[in-house]
Amino acid sequence: SKVPSITLNNGVSMPQLGYGVWQVPDDEAAKAVGTALEAGYRSIDTAAIYDNEKGTGQAVAASGIPREELFLTTKLWNTEQGYDSTLRAFDASLARLGLDYVDLYLIHWPLPAKDAFVDTYKAFETILADGRAKAIGVSNFLPAHLERLFGETSVVPAANQIELHPQLQQAESRAFHAKHGIATEAWSPLGQGRGLLEVPTIVAIAQKHGKTPAQAVLRWHLQLGNVVIPKSVTPSRIQENIDVFDFELDADDLAAFGALEEGRRLGPDPATFSLGV
């Protein structure tokens, strides 16, 4: 495939660019994921709460692509945190996906108010030991939450999937992850398409390279070392978002991107988010 892979801290390879399916209804997911697989994506990011694991699994089965060439991520939803409930929720996700293992299983949110992510992660370690997830990790964890895991569990998370785009660059988390061998995965890498792709600096950089603003933004992520999982249900955009391996941003471009930091969150703050607690 044209998409390069990164090596996670347990030796597992993960494509640096994948396809995210948040907000794709289950009955449209099979078609959308099928389009992405045809376009060359091999990594798919879903979650129990997205309610489209079934459609995602159907697309995987219909594609005929050998399982070992695919990288499937799903996530444990908030209401299921806890040791036993996690094991049950994981079984249910696998059944909906129609798979006997996932490549990466993530705790969707830390929910510090619930204080159950350590027990939840211990269930993840059991799932990893059973070979039913090839790698385990977290999402939306702040460095303090990761420190707590380091102290109370044995497996360093392979990845932390966090909100990250040019207006929320997450320098502190990225440095912390790099220091501890945790891959940084960027969610809403395109800022959900809301305004970011019209920012004049980004439009100008895109024009300079004969690419689109979305492609310039994805290229910025890739050159930073992030894993990206852009979402679209539009076939031309699905294609466009993977067509980012034939150009390179230069130092001036990267500096201009750096100046776009605004600390602007589009999603919830992980320190206080407590949906489902």
Catalytic residue ranges? 50
Smallest gap, in angstroms, from Cβ of residue 185 to ligand NAD?
A: 8
Chain residues 20-59 in contact with ligand NAD, contact rule CB under 6 A: 20-22, 45
Query: Residues, the chain, total?
Result: 277
Does 264 sit near ligand NAD (CB under 6 A)? no
Does 190 sit near ligand NAD (CB under 6 A)? yes
Q: How far apart are CA 241 and CA 190, in angstroms?
A: 10
Does 267 sit near ligand NAD (CB under 6 A)? yes
Q: How would you classify the pairing of strands 13-15 and 5-7? A: antiparallel
Q: How far apart are CA 127 and CA 206, in angstroms?
A: 43
Q: How far apart are the first and last CA of the chain?
A: 41
Task: Select the residue interacting with ligand NAD from 40, 82, 143, 193 (CB under 6 A).
Answer: 193
Contacts of 179 (CB under 8 A, 6+ apart): none
Binding mask 121-150 for ligand NAD (x = CB under 6 A): ------------------xx----------
Q: Please report, for residues 72, 89, 94, 110, 250, the alpha-carbon distance to residue 75 in angstroms, rounded to integers and kept in the order given.
A: 10, 10, 11, 12, 35
Does 188 sit near ligand NAD (CB under 6 A)? yes
Task: Select the residue interacting with ligand NAD from 16, 52, 78, 161 (CB under 6 A).
Answer: 161
Contacts to ligand NAD by CB under 6 A = 20-22, 45, 108, 139-140, 161, 187-193, 197, 212, 214, 229-232, 237, 240-241, 267
